[in-house]
Structure 1
Amino acid sequence: MRPISYVIPANEYRRERWKNGLGWTREIVRYPDAADWDWRLSIAEIEQDAAFSSFPGIDRELVLLRGNGLRLRFDDGEEVVLLPPHQRHRFAGERGLTGELIDGLTHDFNLMWRRDAVEAELLHRPLVGPMLFFAEPGVRWAIHLLAGQAHFDRACGLPPLWAGDTALLVSGEGRKRFVLEGGGEILAIRLQDKRSDGNG
């Protein structure tokens, strides 16, 4: 059984088919770990132009991690191009769209959350010194290290982060401070439970 807060090494991500079977994704974490999750982090491996799966009731944010670019062509006529380094776009999961590769395959960080259950905010930040994250009942953080190396202060009891790893920061009871130090780039995702029962 995992501790409340933990690090997920990149080599432990679960590779599985997209919901529509047209591609592959590496699932980082889902909460709760069930079919009817409230939020989910994954890395989509897009190897060919393909329709995205439909996720009614889910909001999404996609960040280009690797590759020369991805065009999101929505069924309603909107087009969004994600270019390196790390452009991103937020959209409703029930919108029909096709992902079109610009020049070769891409890997794309995929944040999904159930809009009636969770508020999610994704931040892209350089890591050039200590950063503080505060988890509290109903609020947790997921930290994905895009590049570089990082470590938490000893009081956190967490192992170091290497490029591609993800840390999940949860308070348990009360408020807990996490100090992250190192050099590189991170995606920091703040996840607030709209239905919090006070247990973090």
Structure 2
Amino acid sequence: MSTDTFLSAATRVIPSVEYRRERWRNGLGWTREILRVPDNDDWLVRLSIAEIEQDAAFSAFPGIERELVLLRGEGLRLRFADGTLHTLMPPHDRLRFAGEAEVSGELVDGVTHDFNLMWRRDAVSAELLHRPLVGSMFFFSEPGAAWAIHLLAGQAEFEGEPALPPLQAGDTAWLGAGPRRRYALHGGGELLAIRVAAGVAAG
């Protein structure tokens, strides 16, 4: 199957209560998986929330690009093997880095929850936007391009889309690739919007 076919996975809203929660292999935290496309071990895109309870090394993901966004907590230091140190601070600092990188997470002051976007760099490109939601925002699905929308705060609903239930804070919507279509998201709050497209980004 082509990348385009995988990105056309069914449009839907995923309530936060349906995220799959599992213990890390090293036992030092939890992951709540939101979505993987396709839904198997050979995914192209994966969204999850890491619950980091103590300082811990991150797992390596060869061939994967990652972007972390601090959701909750007082901060997370990311210490890389090359000596680079980057601290994610509230409210929503973020960092993109290669999945191959040797990195450990160090808590600034207590448990953190971190949004984790991962994508296979040789097959898709991804862009993560952090935006306020005031009134309506418009998202366009297209052939080879899909959107994932994670509501950080507030509430929202897709106008004229009775098959898509309203979003509460913490919920995620997937707008699958396909014929060009406009989605109007109406509400108030704050969100992460991730555009995922087939192919590798220029540059």
- The interval holding the TM-score normalised by the smaller chain is over 0.9
Percent identity over paired residues: 70
Deviates more, 1:180-189 or 1:155-164: 155-164
| 2:189 paired residue number | 184
Q: Which runs of 5+ in 1 are unaligned?
A: 196-200
- Name the SS for the 1:128 alignment partner: strand
The question of whether the paired residues in 1 share the 8 Å contact of 2:28 and 2:52 is answered with: no
- Post-superposition Cα deviations, 1:68-108, rounded to whole Å, max 9, x if no partner, equal 00000001100000000100000000000110000000000
The question of whether the paired residues in 2 share the 8 Å contact of 1:119 and 1:191 is answered with: yes
Q: Which runs of 5+ in 2 are unaligned?
A: 1-8
The question of whether the paired residues in 2 share the 8 Å contact of 1:18 and 1:53 is answered with: no
- In structure 2, how many angstroms separate the alpha carbons of the residues matched to 1:188 and 1:176? 16
1:168 partnered with 2:177? no
- Name the SS for the 1:62 alignment partner: strand
Q: Which amino acid in structure 2 is aligned with residue 186 of structure 1?
A: L
Q: Which runs of 4+ in 1 moved over 4 A?
A: none
- In structure 2, how many angstroms separate the alpha carbons of the residues matched to 1:157 and 1:149? 17
State which of 6, 9, 13 in structure 2 corresponds to 1:7: 13
- In structure 1, how many angstroms separate the alpha carbons of the residues matched to 2:63 and 2:78? 20
The question of whether the paired residues in 1 share the 8 Å contact of 2:152 and 2:189 is answered with: yes
State which of 98, 103, 112 in structure 2 corresponds to 1:106: 112
Q: Which amino acid in structure 2 is aligned with residue 138 of structure 1?
A: G
1:43 partnered with 2:62? no
The question of whether the paired residues in 2 share the 8 Å contact of 1:66 and 1:108 is answered with: yes
Pairwise CA distance, 1:19: 5.3
The question of whether the paired residues in 1 share the 8 Å contact of 2:80 and 2:102 is answered with: yes
Equivalent residue runs for 1:137-148 within 5 Å: 137-148=143-154
With structure 1 as the length reference, what TM-score do the two structures score?
0.92
- Name the SS for the 2:194 alignment partner: strand
Aligned length: 192
- Post-superposition Cα deviations, 1:88-145, rounded to whole Å, max 9, x if no partner, equal 0000000001100000000000000000011000000000111000001110000000
| 1:93 paired residue number | 99
1:130 partnered with 2:136? yes
With structure 2 as the length reference, what TM-score do the two structures score?
0.91
1:24 partnered with 2:11? no
Cα RMSD after superposing both structures: 1.4
